[in-house]
Structure 1
Amino acid sequence: MDDIPALLASLPARLSAIPERWAASTPEAPALHEGGRHWTYAQLRHSVEDAARRLRELDVRPGDRLVVVGENCALQVALIFAAARLDAWIVNVNARLSAREIDTITAHSTARRVLYLHASSKEAAAHAQRVASSAVTIDGMGELLAGPLNHDAVAEATQPGNEQVAALIYTTGTTGHPKGVMLTHRNLLFIAAVSSKLRGLTQLDRAYGVLPISHVYGLASVALGTLYAGAALFLVPRFSVEGLLSALKDDGLTIVQGVPAMYARLLQTVGGSGTPLPTQLRFAYAGGSPLAPSLKHEVEQLLGTPLHNGYGMTESSPTISQTRLESPRQDDSVGAPIPGVETRIVDADGVDVAPGQPGELWIRGPNVMAGYYREPEMTAATMRDGGWLNTGDMARQGEDGALFIVGRTKELIIRSGFNVYPLEVETALNAHPSVIQSAVVGCGTADGNEEVVAYVELDPRQPVTLEALQAWLAGTLSPYKCPSDIIVMEALPAAATGKILKGQLRQMAQQRKHH
C-alpha cells in the first residue's frame, strides 16, 4: 500500500459507486444480511436506485441535508448510497438519542427532510409519532416514514470530483453545542479502501456490523470498508452477547470489529477465556476507546486470533492508526499511522517534540474533514496551517513508528465507544432547581472503558433524591451520557477564582472506584 497517489486517483467520485461496481462484476454475491433477510449486490443496487427515485419525489435536492433516524439496517445502507447518487448529505442519527437531541441536530443541519426507519427501531417509530409523517416504500427494502418538507432549507453548492460532502456526522462539542463534521466522498472512500486493504478483505469475508452506522467508525471502517471489498455485511441494530455468540456460531463470521466494552461483556458472559470459542474468525479489532493489554490478552485467548487495536476520531473519518494484520502487538499501542496519513507530535507552541516524548498529536491526510458545518471559528480552532488537524489528544511515538495515546487535552469521556462531553451533562444537571452547581468527570474502569461520574452541590432548601436526579437526566440525555454515579458534596473543590478543580474530582472518582 505504498502507492497512495495511485490509490487516491483510483477512488470513484461517489460512495454510490461501491454497490454499482460489485453489482456489475459479481451481481449474485451476498452484500447485506439483516435478521433472516439477505440481499445480493444486484438487489442492493436495485434498492439504491429506487431509494434515489423516492428521494427525488420527496424533493430532496443536491446539497440538501437528509436526516435519517434509525438503527443499523439494510434500508439505512441503501439510503446512504441513494443520497450519494443525489449529491445530498446523509445525516445518520441514532434513534436512541432523545427527542431534544434529534431536534437540535435537525435544526442545526437545516435538514430538507427527516426519515424514520420505524420498521427496525421502536425508538425511531416513537420519534416519527411526534411529526406529521407519510409512509414511503423502497422496493426490496420495505417502508420508512418521511417527515414534512422543510421549505426553508437552502441547498449547499455541490463540489466537483469526490470533494463533495457525503456525510454530516454530529458530535457534541465541549461547549455542549453539537458539531456537524463534514466528511467528503474522498474522505470516506479513502478510509474504506485503506481499511479493507489493511484487513486483507476479500469477497469471501463476512463482517459483523453491530457498531452504529450513525457513528463514523461503524459507517466508514465497518460498513463502507466491508462493502468496498465486495464482502458481506451482517447488520445488527444493537449489541448483545447472545447475538454475537449466535452470529459467530451460525453466520460463520470472519471479521469482528467492536469497542473494548463489547469484548469485556463477552468475556464476562462466557465466564472468562478458559474455554476458547470455536469460530471462523481471521480478524478481530477494537477501537473507540482505550484497550487494556489484560483485556486484549484474554480476548485473544477466547477468540483464538489477535485482537488488533486502532485510534481515530470523527474529524479524521475516523482512522488515524491501527496495528497490522501481519505484525500483531502485545502492548497498548494503537499501531502505526495508516498509509497516507502524516503525523506530528508537538508541544504547546506547535514545535515538534524530541523523538519518543509525549505531545499533542497533529495529523494530515486524505481523511481530514472538510470542517465543521456552519462553524468557521470552530473549524479554525481545530485546523492548523498546512492542512494539519489538531486531534487534541496527547501521544508519543515509539522507535518503530507506533503511536501510544497517553491522555487527552480535552475533557472528553469515551464510554463504550460513545463520546460524552462533561459540559453537556453538567448543563442538564444544573437545569434542575435543586442543583447549585455540578462537575462531571470520567473514571477509568478495569476493562479500559470510562464511566461518567457527576459531583453535585445541592440546595438544602429544595431536597431531591439521587433517583429523581437520574430520572431528570434520563429525560434529556441519551442513556450512555447519564452518570453511573452522582455524588453529593457540601462544596465542590474550587480555586480562588471559583473555577472547579476537576483534577481533584477525577482523583477522588478513581480512589472511590478502588475502595
Structure 2
Amino acid sequence: MFSLADLFDRVISGFWSGSLENLTGENLSNQCCERALSLLQLADTPLVHGDRLVIRAQNDIPTVATMLAAWHLGLVVVPVKGDASQSAVSAIASDCNAKAIVEGEKVISLATYRPQQRLFELNTPVRVTGVDLALIIYTSGSTGKPKGIMLTHQNVLTSLDSLSQYLRLAETDRILCLSPLSFDYGLYQVLFALKTGCSTILYDKTFNPLHALKVISDQKISVLPIVPAMGAALAKLLTLVKPDLSVLRALTNTGGHLPEYVIRTWKEYCPALDVFSMYGLTECKRALYLEPELWEQKMGSVGKPIPGLDARIFLMDAGSNAYREAEANEIGELFVRGSGVMQAYYDPCAQGGAQIFNGLYRDDNWLATGDLFSRDQEGFYYFRGRSKDLIKQAGFCLFPKDLEAVIDTCPLVHLSVVLGSLDKFQNEVAVCVVELQENTPENQQQLKVWLKENLDADYTPREVRFVESIDLTANGKIDKKKLEQELQA
C-alpha cells in the first residue's frame, strides 16, 4: 500500500475483507464511497490535489466515506469534532487555509480561503503518493492553543503498520471505537479495519459506561481502546453489571496514565486480558508501549520504543551547548525519531508543544516531545510529566505525573490531577484536584490522612480540592486548561 488513497480503491473494488459498521448495523460499502466521491466532485468550488478540506467528523459511515473519497482525490483531510462551535471550526479553517468544509451532505466553500501560487502547473491528473499530505490533526488544546499537525500518507501508514504489529491485530478482531474521529486515537481504529481487514464498530452515541459495557458484550468486542477516564468509569461497573467479556482480549490506553487500581480491576474481572500501557502524542502517533505480560513487573512504565521508532532521553549539556543522552534513572526530555514523526506544524510560528530538530538530510529529524521521562537499567521508560508542568514548591521539584500515580492508588480516588498555582505570597505551590469514588466528608478526611501517610511532606501538594466531577475534553482527557482557569479565578 503506497497511500491512503489505496483504501478507497480497496473498498470500491470489493477487495477489502474487513468491516466497518455503526451500532445499528449500517456498513461501509462501495456505494457509500461513490456517493461521497460524487459529493466532493460536484462541489461549487473545484477541489484539487493538495487542497485542505475541513470535515465535521461524526462517528458514522458517511464521515469515513468522505475521508476516503478526499484522499482518493489527493485532498488533505482536516477532521474537527462534529459538534465543535462555529468559531472553533472557523479558526481551524483559517489557520490551515482550508478551501471548503463538509457538513453532512453539504460541501460549503470558504470565503476565507486564500489562493496559493503553485510552483508546478500540471495538465494531467496528479497521482497520490506517500509523500503527499494526508492529514492535519489539530491538538485538543487541553494544555495550550490547538496546533495543526501535518502528517503525510506515509507517516500514517508507518504508524498503522507498527501499531498493528505490537497489538497483534488479526482479521478476526473486533474493535470498538469509543473516541471521536476528530481525535487521532479514534481515527486510527477505523484505519485498522480498512488496512488490516479486521472489524471496527463505531460508537455513535455520547459515552455512557453502562451502555458501552452492553455494546462490548453484545458486539463480541475483542479489542477495546480507551482513555483513562473511560477505563475508570467502565471498571467501576464491571462487578455490578457483570457483562460477558469472554471475547475481550486486549485493552489499549492513551491520553494519560492508566491507574494501577483500574488495571487490577480489569484484570480481576478478565484474568486473560492483555492491558497495553502506551505513550504517544499526535505529532508521532505512538512512541512507547509495554508488553502486557510485564504490566505488574514494570508497573508504571510505558515500556520501550514501538517497532520502527527510536526513542532517547536527552538533557542539554550547558558546557558544550549540545544534547547528551541521559543515564539510567536520570530525568530528561524524551526525543523520538522515525518515519511516523510529523512533518511540522502547519503554522511554523506555533508555540509550545513538540519541536523538530533537523539533521543532515530531509528525514533525519528528532522530535523533542516536551515530556519528561526516565529510563531504568533494563531500558524501560517512565513518564515523569510535561517539562512545563514541573512545579517548584518550596525549592523542591514536584512532577505532577509522579504524584498522580501515587494518589491514584488510593481506593477512595476516582480521578486526580496535580496542577501548579500561586499562594497568597505569589509562591508556586502544587494543588491536587480530586474526584472521589464517593464524595463524603468522611472520605475527604480519610484521603487527607492517607496523603500524609503515603507522600513525603516536602512533596505533598499544599492544597487538596474536592470536586463532584472532573471535566474532560472532547477527547476524554482531563481538561487541565479549565481547571487552571478555575484555580486562578
Q: 1:294 to 1:325 in 2, by over 3 A?
A: closer
Using the alignment, how far apart are the partners of 2:180 and 2:199 within structure 1? 17
Return the match for 1:241 from 198, 206, 209: 209
Deviation at 1:399, TM superposition (A): 3.2
> Following superposition of structure 1 onto structure 2, how do residues 90-101 of structure 1 map, counting pairs within 5 Å?
90-101=77-88
Q: Does 1:511 align with 2:489?
A: no
In 2: Cα distance, 1:60 partner to 1:450 partner: 46
Determine whether 1:390 maps to 2:368: yes
CA contact (8 A) 1:289 1:448 kept: no
- Residues 502 and 314 of structure 1, relative CA distance in 2, 3 Å threshold: farther
Structure 1 residue 324: Cα displacement:
2.8
Counterpart of 1:75 in structure 2: which amino acid?
P
| Partner residue, 1:15 | 4
Match in the other structure for 2:50: 63
Provide the TM-score with structure 1 as the length reference: 0.70
Aligned to 2:450: none
Instruction: Give the Cα–Cα distance (whole angstroms) in 1 for the partners of residues 300 and 192 of structure 2.
Output: 24
Percent identical pairs in the alignment equals: 26
**Does structure 2 retain, via aligned residues, the 8 Å contact 1:383–1:389?**
yes
Letter in 2 for 1:342: D
Decide which moves more: 226-235 or 160-169.
160-169
Aligned with 2:32 (options 36, 47, 55): 47
One-letter amino acid of the counterpart of residue 426, structure 2: A
- For residues 338-389 of structure 1, the C-alpha deviation after alignment (integer angstroms, 9 at most, x for no partner) is 0111111111342211133221100111111010103256499711232000
Q: Of the candidates 161, 181, 193, which is equivalent to residue 226 of structure 1?
A: 193
Q: Is 1:267 aligned with 2:220? A: no
Report if aligned partners of 2:279, 2:302 keep a CA contact under 8 Å in 1.
yes
Aligned to 1:494: 426
Q: Confirm whether residue 33 of structure 1 aligns to residue 21 of structure 2.
A: yes
Distance 2:147 2:208 in 1: 30
Counterpart amino acid of residue 40 in structure 2: L
Residue of 140, 161, 168 corresponding to 1:200:
168
Q: Which amino acid aligns with 1:249?
A: S
Q: Equivalent residue for 1:75? A: 62
Task: Indicate if the aligned counterparts of 1:92 and 1:169 stay in contact, CA closer than 8 A.
Answer: yes
The answer to whether the 8 Å contact 1:19/1:227 transfers is no
Instruction: Output one character per residue of 1:154-194: Cα deviation in whole Å (capped at 9) or x when no partner.
Output: 36868973111111111266995331111111111111121
* Stretch of structure 1 that moved more, 443-452 or 236-245: 443-452
Secondary structure of 1:69's match?
A: strand
User: Residues 199-243 of structure 1: CA distance to partner in whole angstroms, max 9, x if unpaired?
Assistant: 2222221110111111112223x2212321111110013322123
Partner amino acid, structure 2, of 1:365: G
Shift of residue 295, structure 1, vs aligned partner: 1.5
RMSD across aligned positions (CA): 3.4
SS of structure 1 residue aligned to 2:148: strand
Written as runs of structure 1 = structure 2, the 5 A alignment for 1:65-464 is: 65-117=52-104, 144-150=105-111, 152-154=113-115, 161-171=129-139, 176-220=144-188, 222-237=189-204, 238-271=206-239, 277-304=244-271, 305-316=273-284, 318-324=285-291, 328-330=295-297, 331-349=299-317, 350-376=323-349, 378=351, 382-386=355-359, 387-411=365-389, 444=404, 446=408, 449-451=415-417
Contact kept, 8 Å, 1:196 with 1:225, in 2: the verdict is: yes
CA contact under 8 A between 1:292 and 1:448: conserved in structure 2? Answer: no
Take 2:247 and 2:68, find their aligned partners in 1: how far apart are those partners?
30
Q: Paired residue for 1:467?
A: none
Separation in structure 2 between the aligned mates of residue 454 and residue 411 of structure 1, nearest angstrom: 7
Number of corresponding residues: 404
Relative to structure 1, is the Cα distance of residues 326 and 503 closer, same or farther in structure 2, using a 3 angstrom cutoff? closer
Supply the distance in 2 between the matched residues of 1:162 and 1:379 (Cα, whole angstroms): 28
> Structure 1: any 5+ residue segments left out of the alignment?
1-11, 118-143, 413-440, 456-488, 496-500
Tell whether the 8 Å contact from 1:51 to 1:82 is kept in structure 2 after alignment. Answer: yes
